[in-house]
């Protein structure tokens, strides 16, 4: 039976690859004539990349290398240097260095120490932790701007917490926590415009287009209310959905087990306090320094060097080799692909084509619905949320001005909707990191991500009409 399934899978993947080759050889005739040859091949490669990264017929790292090669082999880019441009993005290295530092936290048991603090906060109750976690994720961007940093900090802590509750690696609780820090954590970034790259860019666009003036507190209030509504709805849905799809799995820990695990003290050595204090110092630097003057990548780079000092000896060559280089290749390649979409104006052509379908109507609600659909379709073509916002924002703003719509509310809706599209693992770095742990399956990611996107769009739509 297993041999037949493997054979059937090979036939399906073979047909997909053959279709890609056929389209490449026939000059991608299925695309509109308005597209240049370079733009046609860019769209073809984008579709093939989604196939490689989501269905994973070959390992993600190998697929990423193939995509880099195809950027040059196909008439898209002229040199390999251009294809590797995405690897010059600091975010790619940020993921790697935080992965290494997370390993150090686990080695000295900082994760267990914090996990037990979480246990005390939840009083040993699973359901209390289920309620508390989304609140933590929603407010944490105020202190820790990067969504990737929050994921890397919380992931080992929640894994330890899962063990303290006496659950298996693939328990419902563990899957729930991965969904929260993978999907909800990414969208929570925009609760403050100092919460990372995406909200900073959004706020800059807001100012560039002279839409209005929003203070830090005003932005927080504008985003916090709809985000909180989404968190409540999605926390309930995610837990119910995971429970329904795993009916035979135990997910309630015995109170006695939780108490025993919490009561056992974590042995703390001098290395624990060195790591814990230096890690807190790094977070303080992120909070209190200007990222334009003091880049967020510098503190973790220095910290890695500090941990590798022979007298401390927490990082070795083996530690670096164990880092998540597969994700490194995928993220760097996705950034390169995003740059290609922007630089050869493929994204602009797609946007112009889609906006031509917007109807001429005097109904504000109908116009807003069509704009939301436009944003959703356009966002699906982008891997990097920031790249999507750069293209989508000016197009929608131009349409809104010509249609006489409320610019302030619509601009916030665009920002909110672009940030909420988290259907596929490749739609943001944190969703891919959560998916790559193997805790969440492809089906669970798509279902939870799709419902999250729909709920967010609906809440954003209501906020645009009645709140913003």
Mean pLDDT computed over 276-304 = 79
- The top-scoring range by mean pLDDT among 160-164, 274-278, 364-368 is 274-278
The answer to the question of residue 31 being in a domain is: yes
The answer to the question of residue 464 being in a domain is: no
The answer to the question of residue 100 being in a domain is: no
Classified as helix, coil or strand, 362 is coil
- Positive or negative torsion for Cα 291, 295, 299, 304: positive
Higher confidence at residue 69 or residue 384? 69
Selection from 35, 54, 107, 92 nearest residue 353 by Cα: 35
Q: What is the DSSP string of 411-433?
A: HHHHHHHHHH---SGGGSHHHHH
CA distances from 60 to 20, 56, 295, 380, 426 (A): 18, 6, 29, 20, 11
Q: What tens digit of pLDDT does each residue of 432-468 get? A: 777 777 788 778 888 888 888 888 888 888 888 787 7
111, 105 contact by CB (below 8 A): yes
Mean pLDDT of the chain: 75
Mean pLDDT computed over 377-397 = 68
Please calculate the CA angle 164-167-170 and round it to the nearest 5 degrees.
130
Mean pLDDT computed over 148-170 = 78
- Tally of domains within the chain: 1
- The top-scoring range by mean pLDDT among 7-21, 105-119, 200-214, 324-338 is 324-338
In this predicted structure, which of 25-39, 182-196, 333-347, 409-423 has the lowest mean pLDDT? 25-39
Q: What tens digit of pLDDT does each residue of 47-82 get? A: 788 777 767 778 878 888 888 988 888 888 888 888
Residue 438 confidence (pLDDT): 79
Give the ranges where 74-196 is alpha helix by DSSP (H).
80-83, 90-107, 110-121, 126-139, 147-164, 172-179, 185-188
In this predicted structure, which of 57-66, 97-106, 189-198, 334-343 has the lowest mean pLDDT? 189-198
The answer to the question of residue 79 being in a domain is: yes
Please calculate the CA angle 349-51-240 and round it to the nearest 5 degrees.
105
The answer to the question of residue 15 being in a domain is: yes
Please calculate the CA angle 182-188-190 and round it to the nearest 5 degrees.
130
Residue 351 confidence (pLDDT): 62
In this predicted structure, which of 38-42, 62-66, 189-193, 454-458 has the lowest mean pLDDT? 189-193
CA distances from 195 to 139, 186, 201, 410, 436 (A): 10, 10, 10, 21, 24
CA distances from 401 to 394, 395, 461, 462, 467 (A): 11, 10, 18, 21, 20
The Cα 439–Cα 409 span in angstroms is 38
The answer to the question of residue 237 being in a domain is: no
The Cα 53–Cα 330 span in angstroms is 8
Domain that holds residue 42: 1-83
Residue 195 confidence (pLDDT): 56
The answer to the question of residue 309 being in a domain is: no
The answer to the question of residue 88 being in a domain is: no
The Cα 181–Cα 190 span in angstroms is 14
Residue 256's pLDDT band, with cuts at 50, 70 and 90, is very low
Mean pLDDT computed over 269-288 = 80
Residue 205's pLDDT band, with cuts at 50, 70 and 90, is low
């Amino acid at each position: 039976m297993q041999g037949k399934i493997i054979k059937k899978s090979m036939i399906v993947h073979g047909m997909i690859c053959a279709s890609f080759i056929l389209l490449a050889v026939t000059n991608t005739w299925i695309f509109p004539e308005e597209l240049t040859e370079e733009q046609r091949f860019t769209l073809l490669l984008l579709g093939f990349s989604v196939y490689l990264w989501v269905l994973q017929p070959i390992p993600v790292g190998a697929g990423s290398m193939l995509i880099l090669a195809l950027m040059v082999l196909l008439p898209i880019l002229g040199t390999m240097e251009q294809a590797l441009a995405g690897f010059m993005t600091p975010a790619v290295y940020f993921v790697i260095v935080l992965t290494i530092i997370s390993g150090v936290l686990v080695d000295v048991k900082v994760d267990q120490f914090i996990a037990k603090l979480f246990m005390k906060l939840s009083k040993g109750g699973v359901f209390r932790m289920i309620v508390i976690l989304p609140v933590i994720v929603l407010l944490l961007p105020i202190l820790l701007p990067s969504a990737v940093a929050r994921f890397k900090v919380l992931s080992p802590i929640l894994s330890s917490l899962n063990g303290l509750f006496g659950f298996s690696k693939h328990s419902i609780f563990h899957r729930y926590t991965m969904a929260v820090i993978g999907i909800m954590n990414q969208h929570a970034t925009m609760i403050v415009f100092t919460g990372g790259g995406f909200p900073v860019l959004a706020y800059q666009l807001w100012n560039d287009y002279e839409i209005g003036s929003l203070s830090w507190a005003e932005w927080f209030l504008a985003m916090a209310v709809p985000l909180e509504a989404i968190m409540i709805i999605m926390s309930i849905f995610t837990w119910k959905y995971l429970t329904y799809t795993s009916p035979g799995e135990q997910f309630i820990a015995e109170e006695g087990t939780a108490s025993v695990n919490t009561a056992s003290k974590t042995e703390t050595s001098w290395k624990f306090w060195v790591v814990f204090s230096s890690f807190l110092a790094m977070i303080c630097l992120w909070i209190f320094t200007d990222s334009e003057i003091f880049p967020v990548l510098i503190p973790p780079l220095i910290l890695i060097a500090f941990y590798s000092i022979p007298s401390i000896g927490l990082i070795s060559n083996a530690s670096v080799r164990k880092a998540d280089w597969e994700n490194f290749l995928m993220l760097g390649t996705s950034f390169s692909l995003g740059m290609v979409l922007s630089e050869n104006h493929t994204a602009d052509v797609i946007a112009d084509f889609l906006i031509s379908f917007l109807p001429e109507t005097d109904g504000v609600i109908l116009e807003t619905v069509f704009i939301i659909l436009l944003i959703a379709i356009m966002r699906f073509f982008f891997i990097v949320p920031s790249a999507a916002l750069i293209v989508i924002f000016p197009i929608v703003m131009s349409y809104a001005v010509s249609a006489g719509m409320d610019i302030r509310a619509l601009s916030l809706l665009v920002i909110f909707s672009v940030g909420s599209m988290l259907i596929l693992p490749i739609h943001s770095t944190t969703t891919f990191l959560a998916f790559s742990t193997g805790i969440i399956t492809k089906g669970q990611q798509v279902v939870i991500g799709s419902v999250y996107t729909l709920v967010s769009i609906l809440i954003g739509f209501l906020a645009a009409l009645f709140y913003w």
